[in-house]
Structure 1
Amino acid sequence: MRRGGPPSRGAGPPEEALGAAAAATNNAAATAAAAAAATAAAAAAAAPTAAAADALIASCGEEFPLLQQLQQVLQRYSLQQQQQQQQQQQQQQQQQQQQRYVAYMLNDALPKEIPSLESFVTMKVFIIRQRPGEKLYTREIPQ
């Protein structure tokens, strides 16, 4: 190998580091996907278990109080899962609404009101009045 020149053969340390980083990223993505699949499988498996426990308790009647306690625990667990899913759905809906609002403001409202970003930055604008459903009325502040 010449001094000061590139290596004549093989990948140098930077290329090896990039390859290792890419492999680690791929492994992390695969691990996350496997964890998500395992969580979904566990949630899907919980529903038949609860139904089977309900059927078992109904067939045994009052003879086994531990089975009744198990049924109550399973019902609480399934209720908690449903509440968590509802909260996640509500959060996703709120995020989607916020994203739609931002997209509307950036893509729809600004180009109609202000011709370019440069004029938006340099213009001094005063909002006169805006009611729900009305167009945004503006006027330039006299200097």
Structure 2
Amino acid sequence: MVTVSPSECEAAPKWSYALQLPHDPRAAGIARVTLRAVLAGHGVSQLSYTAELLASELVTNAYRHSTGPATLRLRGLGGGRLRVSVWDTNPHIPPPFDRRPSPVRPVPVDADGGRGLFLVCHYADAWGGYPLGDDLFGRGGKLLWCEIGPPRATGRAAAA
């Protein structure tokens, strides 16, 4: 019989959900509602505001820049941390997810787009992306992800 010690299990996700989304402009809204319910069910509603913003931006990016379905994955990492990832069919890794570590520069005021992923990088504790090779079903694409944790204490609470 094989056993696993508790210290080995700490690296594994505490919980995980995957939501398959069609290529539909309503996908970001559906992702937000689902995320809100999952976080409430796991007692980490304090992450909802930021997590909804980040998931919405990643799903919107998938809708705008791919022609196929997307998958939102939510993973509880323990310690109140959350990983949000979105897979889509386009293998291109957009800036600033295509290079690390480099400073994220603000989007020019007159630019037509590019602010969504800038927001993800600004509000996430960690983020990244990588292309995925074709699997048995001919799906490739990319995965963009970000992680957030509980709000950090500031001011007098941090000093105490």
Which bin holds the TM-score, normalised by the shorter protein? under 0.3
More strand by share: 2
More helix by share: 1
**Greater RCO structure (CA 8 Å; 6+ sep):** 2
Q: Structure 1-normalised TM-score?
A: 0.20
